[in-house]
Amino acid sequence: MIEEMPGDLLQWLRGFYFVARAGSITGATTLMGREQPTITRQIKCLERDLSVTLFDRSSGKMMLTPEGTLLLSRAISLFEDIEEIRNLFKKSQPEYQGKIVLATSHSIIESFLPKYIIQFKNAHPNIKFHLIGGGISNCL
């Protein structure tokens, strides 16, 4: 049976990965787009949860301890597995094709629909739109 995981273990591991990669919390903030207190908290939570010290902080730089090196290897494998799972299901979704015809007013076509059509076309590039409005016909 899989036990319940405390907190945000995957986010803590992600913060750990970026600190290890950058060699500092400040460097990780740039890579992750997060604030320094958030990343510091992730590392502390992970160390507390695992009852281990992951970084040697004595030199002023975040150097991995042997336990940190082992965890980094495992974390990378875990993230690769997660990405593989995501890709597995992305490939199994059908590729939609065809044409959608929308008839509405010219002002709706010009002001309201474009952002929704762009979003839809990004998700389903093989779908064509045929817009009919106010006597004007456009194909997208």
Distance between alpha carbon 37 and the CA centroid of its chain, in Å? 20
Q: Which one has a higher pLDDT value, 122 or 53? A: 53
Q: What is the pLDDT of residue 112?
A: 83
Residue among 35, 49, 63 at smallest CA distance from 15: 35
Summarised one tens digit per residue, pLDDT across range 89-104 is 776 667 788 898 888 8
Residue among 30, 133, 9 at smallest CA distance from 79: 9
How far is 76 from 54, CA to CA, in rounded Å?
Answer: 15
Whether residues 73 and 102 fall in one domain: no
**Does residue 2 form part of some domain?**
no
Whole-model pTM?
0.62
Summarised one tens digit per residue, pLDDT across range 56-85 is 988 878 899 999 999 999 999 999 999 998
Identify the weakest region by mean pLDDT among 18-27, 30-39, 89-98.
89-98
Whether residues 27 and 59 fall in one domain: yes
**Does residue 121 form part of some domain?**
yes
Q: What range does the domain containing 48 cover?
A: 9-91
Whether residues 104 and 86 fall in one domain: no
Q: What is the pLDDT of residue 138?
A: 52
Of the pLDDT bands very low, low, confident and very high (cuts 50, 70, 90), residue 48 is very high
Maximum pairwise Cα distance, the chain: 74
**Does residue 1 form part of some domain?**
no
Whether residues 58 and 105 fall in one domain: no
How far is 102 from 116, CA to CA, in rounded Å?
Answer: 13
Q: Hey, what amino acid is at 107?
A: S
What is the total count of domains within the chain?
A: 2
Secondary structure string (H, E, C) spanning 38-53: HHHHHHHHHHHHHCCC
Whether residues 109 and 87 fall in one domain: no
Q: What is the pLDDT of residue 115?
A: 85
pLDDT at residue 118 greater than cutoff 60: yes
Whether residues 83 and 110 fall in one domain: no
Q: What is the pLDDT of residue 78?
A: 94
Q: What is the pLDDT of residue 20?
A: 95
Whether residues 85 and 106 fall in one domain: no
Strand 127-133 relative to strand 55-56, pairing: unpaired
